[in-house]
Chain A
């Protein structure tokens, strides 16, 4: 039976438990009464705890409870365990864990605390140390916020270490040799005479011995796997068509559903006529699921045809009918004079601005705008579900399986115990698969189609034109410049609230009251490590408009554009080089070093050929200081992006080649949006529907991206998002340097031609 193991500094309780033919090693945390996610799959008399390592006669499996959406997290999480367990990555299997509050993500909660990442004060450290407690109770099994590695960094290595030591203890008992004489290597305990006892043969006994004390984790200098580039565990499957996404789930008797949501996002269906649709070949049902209509047929194509043959009567939109109306509503939030938050208010900005005239300082001000953005993951939203005998099975690529299970139960009107969720690979996430709509909708279909498994697919058109979206937002600043430096900076931002949207749509782990300031609105705007004497950051929350949610790098995706274009405008007004001015202002050493690194990488300051120019941006985002330089060239066909350089500090680089891929991906995602992506409205409907009018960056547009990872920051951080926020401002600043035109709204392609 399960026993408590060693209580560690971070509050993790390591335990083991027998399973058929072997043992599971896992981690409990805090003294919460965590559920045991594997229990349901075990036989009588068996029990389980939070599993991270499962060893049976058949092999070694590492459970990686974060969603693999392209960021390589399965490989990195497996590496953490394998490093201490002494197994080779090639010899293990990985599984997404089932939904369980035990797989909480402490990192997500930390990201929401009101302390800048550079704040090393006792209070901030205390808050970080306490982060796991609310996370457990909120059942945050969430993949997002670039938090997976720092959440797992210690606990998954420790699970591996204790498993290793316990297997050694089994070998010692079996052989009569002292533990100190035993070594471990490549999945086996090695005796002094070089005899190998494979873990798979020791596993059955491992559940019966006392767990070894938690040994000290191996120092970085002894790492064999971590710190070195690893082949992705999913790379062969993803190069041979064998990787299974939710869209690829096929079950006996499966039917295919396609959804048509209201063209007025947030709206519902009043009535519809499916007479013609039901007469089409292969069409079996046209269902009213309240907020949408779903056609079910023998193929996805037949279901799509059926939806086109339905006539709909939708409730009219409750928000402004066109884009300008949305920006007017956002601008109105500033006028309320009721800030949602003011997380920075250094010295006296008002006095500094008012006194500028007498002090001889120059005053500059400007307004910036960013549009709504779609995520357009390559795999449109989908989920498979089967409801039979009172049980509901779901297959989904979700970034939040515990919340998905709750929402599934709610949509079905059954208990959570009756719901099982299998997390598949995700064909891109970028925040979109943290939404619950595709699970809720698949469940509503499954309930009406009891006994028949249905795969629900969103058409690309539905996915693109119904949301949720990255919020549209407005940024404003007023600054005074004196003797080559900003003396006062007053920056503010307004947008609809992501947290309110997610809360209202059922995507939040716990209810978020309206009175709680939405930290995403001011994210990466208020906590930048610039030492400016008078510095004020205010965030305003507009009324709800289109549905908005998390989009790669969340609030930083607009706020770094506002802040870093502002810094460029200040540098111009101050007559300063934008890199040098920032270096004069930055108060945080790792932040300064990424900026110095990127300047060195790009040879910043050396003269460029005629027709070329560069822009720079810096941001401290998700705890990772990141700096970028983008170079552009004027060509007869428009502006071409010739190169991008990015330096980021993740504290500890676990897998350099994967970090390179993540930074390139993040930078490119940001550049893509900055050049040509926007969601606009007319007549209450979104005007974009597919890749022809919502054009992501293609290969011929994508610049080479040179990356550098630094390790000076005090905490390990993820790299899935930090590449994105600086892309737009670095590009916009480069365009200004090239053309003299200061473009203050995105996408830049609305104002100037790109190749």
Chain B
């Protein structure tokens, strides 16, 4: 099974029905993507396929229809994505376990809606759980990232 992740083509010897989440984490050792529930209830496993946010626990490896981007491939270390910069500026992370998924979801949100309202943010981000309840800072960081991206 061939799959392109973060611009690199990988060959994986795993059953087609293996969820992309586990193919990435256990097959390729790409661990920025997290397991939280396995049933699309928490969003910790969010990655992009062809730029669109998906729950990687729900996509079978054999059904992966495009290039996969995980948080590791979102940006270069010396040129972080504006969403990551805003996350750092607002000091969003606490335990941090859900934040890869939060960031990948927020990037997708801003690509579709460059000027989201609080309600827009709530609607899109409510699929991503955070037990530390960093929600107020996530919301603020998304607004900051939106203005950074508009000005860029």
Q: Which of A302, A380, A661 contacts B36 (CB 8 A)?
A: A380
Decide yes or no whether B133 CB sits under 8 A from chain A.
yes
Interface of A (DSSP majority class): loop
Q: Would you call B38 and A378 a contact (CB within 8 A)? A: no
Contact of A250 with B29 in the complex, beta carbons under 8 Å: yes
Q: How many residues of A contact B (CB 8 A)?
A: 64
Q: Does A719 contact B (CB under 8 A)?
A: no
- Does B132 lie within 8 Å of A428, measured CB to CB? yes
Whether A299 touches B123, Cβ cut-off 8 Å, given contacts A240-B77, A240-B80, is no
**A460 touches which one: B18, B38, B98, B121 (CB < 8 A)?**
B38
Find chain A residues with CB under 8 A from B41 CB.
690-692
Q: Could you tell me if B95 and A379 are in contact, using CB atoms closer than 8 angstroms?
A: yes
Give the segment of A13-21, A123-131, A698-706 that binds chain B. Answer: A698-706
A282 to B23, CA, bound (A): 13
User: If A241-B71, A378-B44 touch, does A72 touch B94 (CB 8 Å cutoff)?
Assistant: yes
A651 interface hit (Cβ, 8 Å)? no
Q: Is A524 an interface residue (CB 8 A)?
A: no
Rounded to whole angstroms, the CA-CA distance of A282 and B14 in the bound complex is 8
A328 part of interface (Cβ distance < 8 Å): no
Assess whether B123 is in contact with A664, with CB atoms less than 8 Å apart: no
* Chain A residue at minimal CB-CB distance from B133: A668
- Surface stretch bound by B, among A81-89, A203-211, A227-235: A227-235
Contacts of A247 in B (CB 8 A): 31, 34-35
Q: With both chains docked as a complex, state the minimum distance between the C-beta of B3 and any C-beta of chain A, in angstroms.
A: 14
Which residues of the partner chain A approach B110 to less than 8 Å between Cβ atoms? none
Asked if residues A427 and B38 are in contact (CB atoms below 8 Å), the reply is no
Q: Is A553 an interface residue (CB 8 A)?
A: no
B138 contacts the other chain (CB 8 A): yes
Q: Is B148 an interface residue (CB 8 A)?
A: no
Nearest CB of A to B30, in Å: 8
Q: Please, which residues of chain A bring their CB within 8 A of the CB of B127?
A: 698
Contacts of B77 in A (CB 8 A): 240
Are B122 and A378 in contact, CB atoms less than 8 angstroms apart? no
Which B residues are in CB contact (< 8 Å) with A250? Answer: 29, 31
Set A256, A298, A378, A669: member contacting B129, Cβ < 8 A: A378
Query: Is B51 interfacial (CB 8 A cutoff)?
Result: no
Tell me the nearest residue of chain B to A430, going by C-beta: B131
| CB closest residue in chain A, given B25 | A300
Q: Is the CB of B129 within 8 A of A691?
A: yes
Q: Nearest residue in B to A375 (C-beta to C-beta)?
A: B131
Q: Check A248 against B135 for contact (C-beta < 8 Å).
A: no
Which of chain A's residues have a CB closer than 8 A to the CB of B92?
A: 235, 239
- Whether A69 pairs with B95 at a CB distance below 8 angstroms is yes
Please tell me if the beta carbons of B72 and A240 are within 8 angstroms of each other in the complex.
yes
Residues of A within 8 A of B29 (CB): 250
| CA of A698 to CA of B105, assembled, Å | 15
Against B, the Cβ 8 Å flags (1 = close, 0 = not) of A299-310 are 111101000000
Q: Among the listed A72, A428, A672, A700, which residue makes an inter-chain contact with B97, where contact means beta carbons less than 8 Å apart? A: A428
Which chain B residues (63-89) contact chain A, with CB distance < 8 Å? 70-72, 74-75, 77, 80, 84, 87-88
Known pairs A241-B31, A377-B131, A428-B132 / 18 extra A-B pairs, C-beta < 8 Å: A236-B88, A239-B84, A240-B74, A240-B80, A241-B33, A247-B34, A300-B26, A304-B38, A379-B36, A425-B96, A428-B95, A429-B95, A430-B131, A657-B91, A672-B133, A690-B38, A692-B41, A705-B136
Show 18 residue pairs from A and B whose CB-CB distance is below 8 angstroms, ordered by the A residue.
A70-B95, A234-B93, A238-B99, A239-B84, A239-B96, A244-B31, A282-B14, A298-B26, A299-B22, A302-B18, A379-B36, A426-B95, A428-B95, A460-B36, A460-B39, A699-B126, A702-B133, A702-B135
Nearest 7 Cβ contacts at the A-B interface: A241-B32, A70-B95, A238-B96, A668-B133, A427-B97, A241-B71, A70-B94
